[in-house]
């Protein structure tokens, strides 16, 4: 029997735009309508209305924690106008979780921006950080009594890369310089948000919250021993995996490390320019590893090696996302099982892992890939919105309940 530490957090993660439906006031929604052929989130999983049913299911599956995000564009659909009814909605979401014995882990920014901010230039607009901090204050003032775990920003490097370097996501910029600037702005936004959250808890005489950002880490592997590939791996590892985190550690604005892990990248740089070295991955898809339905390598050993690499920070680590999209539910369970073995091995070697959130509770809107990839523990029929619990969810539930597995 492989046992996990006492009070281990077990659950799943989601984000507002991917599950709620009807998030008409954000930049993603607008972008979805912008050109034909783009996937539209529409009603998504109707989680905005069905959150009680979804949390009943999470409870029935033995979860004791749930990570979700608050949709900034619902709270503040116009600049400076706070919607009290939406603040009330998320209060109800948090209460519903707590009534079911599920610890809320609340993300403040998960890829979407209010349209008014996007129209001013998004995170590159003057005053973007101040606007974010105003929203953070409203939210933390409202829920501090009920929330211990906060995630300021989800995957800043992924956001900067997809939206500003590769140009896949809105605002579809293709500029390494802008990508690096956005990463810097998000880092400062995290640092300031961390300080505000702590100050508000102090002012309210509440015990200290646990604040982090969600860090997507990837394992980078050179395709061969060519010097440019080795240099590229070194730079990516530094810039993508560790730079942001190092700054947060230096400024003492991390109470725990929030780790999102999915895959590894084979690296073959097309040249020596900074752009090629920092951006290129191998396009040949010659890895023999099993893949998810989006073609990402499945590499559970990578989770162990990343966790061991984080040991030097001597901070607790909570896995805030780990999951697979696949039409084959047996493969989902295998994925979870193999990754949990890595988590357990890391704990044995002294990494203080405090929780594991599977991505995701239900199938959902996978950004530019739409509704085809199926990441959920729970199947969603998008015509009727009916939920069906998958077998992998039941097997995972047995682990959550036992806090251990064979």
Nearer Cβ to ligand BGC (4/299): 299
Query: Rounded to the nearest whole angstrom, what is the least distance from the CB of residue 99 to ligand BGC in the complex?
Result: 26
If the CB atoms of residues 142 and 257 are measured against ligand BGC, the closer one turns out to be 257
Least distance to ligand BGC, CB of residue 66, Å: 15
| DSSP string for 248-283 | HHHTT--SSEEEEEEEEEEE--SSSSHHHHHH----
Q: Which is nearer to ligand BGC, 79 or 368 (CB)?
A: 368
Return the beta strands (E) in 287-332 as ranges. 317-321
Given the complex with ligand BGC, which of 119 and 328 has the nearer CB atom?
A: 328
Nearer to ligand BGC, 162 or 342 (CB): 162
Q: Is 73 helix (H, G, I), strand (E, B) or coil?
A: helix
Phi first, then psi: give them for residue 356, nearest 5 degrees: -145, 115
| Residues 6+ positions from 74 with CB-CB distance below 8 Å | 16, 23, 25, 83, 86, 89
Local structure of residue 397 (DSSP, 8 states): H
Give one DSSP letter per residue of 194-250, joined into a string: HHHHHHHHHHTTPPPPEEEEEEEEEEEEESS--HHHHHHHHHHIIIIIIIHHHHHHH
* Cα–Cα distances in angstroms (integers) from residue 104 to residues 14, 42, 257, 397, in the given order: 12, 26, 17, 18
CB of 162 to ligand BGC, least distance (A): 9
Residues 257, 262, 268, 271: what is their CA dihedral angle, to the nearest 10 degrees? -50
* Residue in this structure with the two tokens 């990754």, named with its chain if needed: 339
| Rounded least distance, CB 216 to ligand BGC, Å | 5
Q: Within 10 A of 238 (CB to CB), how many other CB atoms are there?
A: 11
Residue ranges in contact with ligand BGC by CB under 6 A: 15, 18, 154-155, 158, 216, 260, 321, 359, 366
Cα separation of 343 and 347, whole Å? 6
Q: How far is the CB of 106 from ligand BGC (least distance, A)?
A: 15
Our CB check for ligand BGC shows the closer of 28 and 201 to be 28
Choice between 69 and 229, CB closer to ligand BGC: 69
In angstroms, what is the minimal distance from the CB of 275 to ligand BGC?
A: 22
Peptide bond into 171 cis (omega under 30): yes
- In the complex, least distance from residue 360 CB atom to ligand BGC, rounded to whole angstroms: 7
- Taking the least distance from each CB to ligand BGC, the nearer of 212 and 260 is 260
213: left (phi over 0), alpha (psi -120 to 50) or beta: beta
Distance, CA of 293 to CA of 300 (rounded, Å): 16
Q: Decide whether 196 or 214 has the Cβ nearer to ligand BGC.
A: 214
Q: CA angle 103-366-287, nearest 5°?
A: 105
Tokens of 216: 């997507």
């Amino acid at each position: 029997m492989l046992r996990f530490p006492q009070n281990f957090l077990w659950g799943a993660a989601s984000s507002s735009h991917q599950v709620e439906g009807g998030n008409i006031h954000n930049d993603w929604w607008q972008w979805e309508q912008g050109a034909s052929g783009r996937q539209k989130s529409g009603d998504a999983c109707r989680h905005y209305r069905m959150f009680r049913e979804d949390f009943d299911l999470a409870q029935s599956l033995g979860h004791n924690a749930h990570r979700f995000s608050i949709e900034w564009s619902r709270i503040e659909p116009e600049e400076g106008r706070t919607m009290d009814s939406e603040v009330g909605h998320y209060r109800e979401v948090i209460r519903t979780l707590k009534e079911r014995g599920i610890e809320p882990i609340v993300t403040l920014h998960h890829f979407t921006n209010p349209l008014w901010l996007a129209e001013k230039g998004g995170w590159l607009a003057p005053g973007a950080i101040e606007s974010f901090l105003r929203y953070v204050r409203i939210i933390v003032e409202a829920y501090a009594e009920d929330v211990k775990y906060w995630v300021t920003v989800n995957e800043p490097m992924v956001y900067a890369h997809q939206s500003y370097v590769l140009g896949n996501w809105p605002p579809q910029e293709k500029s390494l310089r802008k990508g690096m600037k956005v990463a810097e702005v998000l880092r400062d936004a995290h640092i300031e948000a961390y300080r505000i959250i702590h100050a508000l808890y102090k002012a309210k005489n509440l015990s200290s919250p646990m604040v982090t950002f969600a860090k997507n880490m990837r394992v980078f592997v050179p395709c061969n021993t060519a010097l440019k590939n080795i240099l590229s791996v070194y730079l990516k590892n530094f810039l993508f995996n560790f730079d942001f985190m190092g700054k947060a550690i230096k400024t003492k604005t991390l109470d725990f490390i929030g780790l999102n892990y999915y895959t590894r990248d084979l690296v073959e740089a097309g040249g020596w320019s900074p752009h090629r070295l920092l951006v290129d991955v191998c396009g040949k898809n010659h890895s023999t590893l099993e893949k998810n339905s989006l073609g990402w390598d499945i590499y559970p050993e990578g989770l162990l090696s990343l966790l061991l690499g984080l040991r030097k920070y001597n901070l607790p680590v909570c896995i805030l996302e780990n999951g697979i999209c696949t039409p084959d539910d047996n493969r989902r369970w295998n994925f979870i099982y193999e990754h949990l073995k890595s988590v357990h091995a890391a704990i044995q070697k002294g990494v203080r892992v405090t929780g594991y959130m599977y991505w995701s509770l239900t199938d959902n809107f996978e950004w530019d890939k739409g509704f085809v990839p199926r990441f959920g523990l729970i199947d969603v029929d998008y015509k009727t919105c009916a939920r069906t619990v998958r077998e992998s969810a039941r097997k995972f539930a047995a682990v959550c309940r036992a806090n251990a597995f064979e």
